Structure 1
Amino acid sequence: MNLLLRSVQIIDKASPWNGQIKDIRVEDNRIAEIGENLSAAGMDVVEGNNCCISPGWLDMRVASRDPGFEHKEDLDSVRQAAMQGGFTEIVLLPNSQPVVDSKDTLNYVRQRRRQSPVCVHVAAAVTKHAAGTDFTEMIDLHTAGAVAFTDGDNPIQHADIFLKTLLYLRPMNALLINRPEDKQLTLFGQMNEGLTSTLLGLKGMPPLAEEMMLTRDLNLLKYILEQTTEPATLPLLHISLVSTARSVELIREAKKQGLPVSCEVAAHQLVYHDEALLTFDTNLKVNPPFRKVADIQALRDGLVDGTIDCVVSDHCPHDEESKNLEFDHAEFGITGLETVFALLTMHSGLSVESIVEKLTSEPRRILRLPALSIAEGQTANFTFFDPAKEWTYTKSASKAINSPFLGKTLKGHVSGVLNQGHIRWFGQPS
C-alpha cells in the first residue's frame, strides 16, 4: 500500500503531532513520513479534509457466536460491524459452541480473513466448556495465542477456581478477565433491583450481587500477592462490565493499595438507567442491568479520574426469535460495536483525546499488546472519525438488530479504518 492521507488531524497523546493537521504518507503498511504538503508522486491520495485520525481502536469484549450460532453472528459479519464502529482490533469471548477451550477452536476463530482491516484476538476459556469446574490447558492456549483468559458470559463462581487461575496465570504474565456476579443472588433476575422492578413486577438483580463478588475477587488477588515479593507491573485481574457506584469505589481503593487490577465499562451503561425499562423494550435487557442515575454518574466520574481504564461495546448479538418475546423470556444483550464512539462522545464527559485513549492505549496496555502511535516508522493502523458529525443509525452491518439506538440520531461519526494494508471508508471525510 502506497497511500497519502492529506490534511488529517492527529489525535494521539503519544504522538509528537498530537492535535496537529498533517499529511501522512503510508508505504508497505508503515508510516513513512508525516509533514505538510508532502509529495503525492506514485501515491494513492485520500483527501482527509481535516477529519480526525487516531491509532486503530480496540474492543476488549465482543461476542461473535461463531462457531455454533452463526445465524446470530459470524466471524465475517462481526468484522463488518467492528469496521463500522471504528475498531481495527477486537477480542472475542470464548462462549461459542464449542467453547474456545482447545487449540483447535482457538485457531479456527483466530484465522485471518483476507481483505479485512479487522484483526481478531481471542480470549480463551478458564474452564472446560466455560462451566466453572475443570481447568483448560491454559499454558497451551496461551502459547497458541490466547490474549487473555475468561469464562466470558459465565462469571467464575468458585473461589478456589478463581484463586488457582490467578496462580497459574501470573508466571505466564497472562490476564484473567472476570465479570463479578453472584449467580445465586441474580437467579431469575430480569433488571436492576429497585422501585422500578417492583412496579413492573420483574425479579430484580441487586447491585450487591456484583459488589460481593468484586470484593471477593479483590481480596483473593491481594491474598496471592502477599505470597510473593515480586511486584506486578501490569494488571493481573481485569474486572469486566462494572456497573455500580460501589464497584467503582472498590476498584478505586484497590488501585490506591497498588493491586494489579484494571476494569472496563460498557458504553451503553453510560446512557440508560433502570426507569428506561418502563417501556418493556427487550433491547434494553442487558446484564449487568441498567442501574440508577447515581450509578451512571459514578461510572462517568470513574472514567474521568482513570479508575475505569477502558470502554467496551459488550457486543451481544441475538436473532429476532431471542429478543422479540415477552420481557422475562428474552435474552440479555445488545449489539454495540457500531455505537460506542457516539455514545462516548454524547454521554461520557471525556474529551476526544481521552475517549481515544480509552479505546486505544489503555486496552492495549492491559492485554500486553504492542503500543501504537501515529509517528514515523510505526505500523499503519488507523481509525478516522469526526466527533462533531451527527448521523442517524439506520442500518447495522451485524446480522443482529437488537440495539435500542437503531433509528436514533447520534453525534460522533466513524469515517473509516485502515489496518493490515486494507482501508475502508464509510463516506469520504467531509
Structure 2
Amino acid sequence: MKLLIRSVQIIDKKSPFNGQVKDILIEGKNIKSIGDKLDGGDAEVIEADGLCVSAGWVDMRVASRDPGFEHKEDLTSVRAAAAHGGFTEIVLLPNTEPVVHSKDTLNYIRQSGSGGLVKLHVAAAVTRKAEGVDFTEMIDLHEAGAIAFTDGEHPVQNADLFLKTILYLQPLNALLMNRPEDRQLTLYGQMHEGLTSTLIGMKGIPSLAEEMMLNRDLKLLGYALEKSMYKSDSPALHVSLISTKRAVELIREAKKNGLPVSCDIAAHQVAFTDSDLIDFDTNLKVNPPFRSAEDVKAIREALADGTIDAIVSDHNPHDEESKNLEFDHADFGMTGLETAFSVALMHSGLALQDIIGKFTTGPRRILRLQDPLLEEGALANLTFFEKDTNWTFNKSFSKSKNTPFLGQELRGKVRGVVNNGKQEWYL
C-alpha cells in the first residue's frame, strides 16, 4: 500500500503536529513522511477537505455473538461495523456460545481477526460459562492472549469470587472488568426507577443496585491492595458502564484516594434520559438503563474532569425476534459501533480532542496497549473523520438493526481507517 493523504488536520495531543494541517504519506504498514506538499510519486492520493486524523480508535466493549449466535452478529460483520464506526481495535466480550473460557474459543476469535483491518482483542471469562461459580484457568488464558477478564454481561455477584479474582490477577498485571449491578435489586426491572417508570407502570431498576455493588467492588479492591502491595501504574479494576451521579462520585473519590481503578460510559448514555422511554421504544431498552437528567449532567461533568476514562459503544446486537416485542419481553441492548463517535460529539459536551482521547489514549492505557504515534516511521494505525459533517445513518453494516439512530441525522462522519497495511474509505 502506498497512500498520500493531502491537507489533513492532525488531532493527537502526543504528536508534535497536533492541530496542524499536513500531508501524510503511508508506505506499507508505516507512516513514511509527514509534511507540506509531499511528493507521493505513484501513491494513491486522497484529497482531504475538512478531514481530520487521529490514532486509530479502540472500543472496549463489543458483543460479537460469534460463536453461537451468528444470526445476530458474526466476526465478519462486527469488523465491518467497527471499521465504519472508525474503530481499528475492538475488545470482544466473552458471552458467546461457548463462552470464552477456554483457549480453543479464545484462539478461534483472535485468529479470525489476525492481520485484518480491525484487530480483535478478546476478554476472557472470569468464571466458567460466566455463571459466577467456578474460576476459569486465567493464567492459561492470559498467556494465550486474553486482554482482560470479565464475565461481560453478567456482573460478578459473589464477593469472595471478586476478591480472589483481583488477588489472582495482580501478579499477572492483568485487568478485571466488571459492570456493577446487584441482580437481586434489579430482578424483573425494565428501565430506570423514577417518575417515568411509575407513570407508565414499568418495574424500575434502582440506581442503588449499581451504587451498592460499585461501593462493594471498590472496598474489596482497597482490601486486596492492602494484602498484595500492587505496584503497576495500570488500573487493576475497570468499571464498565457507570450511569448514576453517585457512581461518578464513588469513582472520583476512589481515584482521589489512589485506588488503581478506571471506568467508562456508553456513548448513548448521554444522549437519552429515562423520560425518552415514554413511547416504549424497545431500541431504548439498555442495561444500565437511561437515567435521570441529573445523572446525565453528572456524567458529562465526569467526562470533562477525567473521572471517566473512556467512551465505549456497548455494541449489543439483537435480531428482530428479540426486540420487536412488548417492552417487558424485549432483550436489553442496542448496536453502537457505527454511531458512537457522532453520538459522543453531539451529546457529551466534550471538545473534539477530549472525545478522541476517550477513544484512543484512555482505552489503551487501561488495556496496557501502546499508543500509535503520528510520526514518521511509526505504524499507520489511523482513523480519518470530519467533525462538522452532517449525515443520515440510513445503512448499518451490522447484521442487527436494533438502534434508535437509524434514519436519524447525525453530526461527525468517519471517512476512513488505515491499519495493518490495509485501508477502507467512505468518501
Q: TM-score, normalised by structure 2?
A: 0.99
Shift of 1:113: 4.2
Supply the RMSD in Å over aligned alpha carbons. 1.0
Structure 1 residues without counterparts, runs of 5 or longer: none
Shift of 1:114: 7.2
Partner of 2:231: 231
The letter for the 1-side match of 2:293 is: V
Pair 1:22 & 2:22 matched: yes
Partner of 1:49: 49
Shift of 1:116: 3.7
Write the distance in 1 (CA, Å) between the matches of 2:57 and 2:230.
Answer: 32
Write the distance in 2 (CA, Å) between the matches of 1:228 and 1:122.
Answer: 27
Partner of 1:8: 8
Pair 1:393 & 2:399 matched: no
Q: Is the 8 A contact 2:273 2:292 kept in 1?
A: yes
Query: Counterparts of 1:225-374 in structure 2 under 5 Å?
Result: 225-374=225-374
Shift of 1:49: 2.5
Partner of 1:95: 95
Q: Is the 8 A contact 2:114 2:120 kept in 1?
A: no
Q: Which runs of 4+ in 1 moved over 2 A?
A: 112-116, 228-232
Structure 1, 226-235 or 186-195: larger mean CA deviation: 226-235
Write the distance in 2 (CA, Å) between the matches of 1:114 and 1:368.
Answer: 19
Determine helix, strand or coil for the equivalent of 1:247. Answer: helix
Q: Is the 8 A contact 2:88 2:118 kept in 1?
A: yes
Determine helix, strand or coil for the equivalent of 1:111. Answer: helix
Determine helix, strand or coil for the equivalent of 2:183. Answer: coil
Shift of 1:33: 1.1
Pair 1:192 & 2:198 matched: no
Query: Counterparts of 1:69-218 in structure 2 under 5 Å?
Result: 69-113=69-113, 116-218=116-218
Shift of 1:232: 3.4
Shift of 1:44: 2.0
Q: Is the 8 A contact 1:6 1:46 kept in 2?
A: yes
Write the distance in 2 (CA, Å) between the matches of 1:422 and 1:370.
Answer: 20
Partner of 1:380: 380
Structure 1, 248-257 or 2-11: larger mean CA deviation: 2-11
Q: Is the 8 A contact 1:31 1:380 kept in 2?
A: yes
The letter for the 2-side match of 1:351 is: A
Structure 2 residues without counterparts, runs of 5 or longer: none
Determine helix, strand or coil for the equivalent of 2:91. Answer: strand
Write the distance in 1 (CA, Å) between the matches of 2:4 and 2:195.
Answer: 57
Q: Is the 8 A contact 1:115 1:422 kept in 2?
A: no
Structure 1, 285-294 or 32-41: larger mean CA deviation: 32-41
The letter for the 2-side match of 1:155 is: P
Shift of 1:373: 1.8
* Aligned residues with identical type, % of pairs: 64
Q: Is the 8 A contact 2:64 2:93 kept in 1?
A: yes
Write the distance in 1 (CA, Å) between the matches of 2:278 and 2:54.
Answer: 39
Shift of 1:115: 7.7
**What is the CA deviation profile of residues 251-299 of structure 1, one whole-angstrom value per residue up to 9, with x for unaligned ones?**
0000000000000000000010001110000000000000000000100
Write the distance in 2 (CA, Å) between the matches of 1:225 and 1:402.
Answer: 41
Shift of 1:406: 0.8
Shift of 1:226: 1.2
**What is the CA deviation profile of residues 184-227 of structure 1, one whole-angstrom value per residue up to 9, with x for unaligned ones?**
00000000011111111111100000000000000000001112
Determine helix, strand or coil for the equivalent of 1:262. Answer: strand
Q: Is the 8 A contact 1:60 1:312 kept in 2?
A: yes
Q: Is the 8 A contact 1:2 1:28 kept in 2?
A: yes
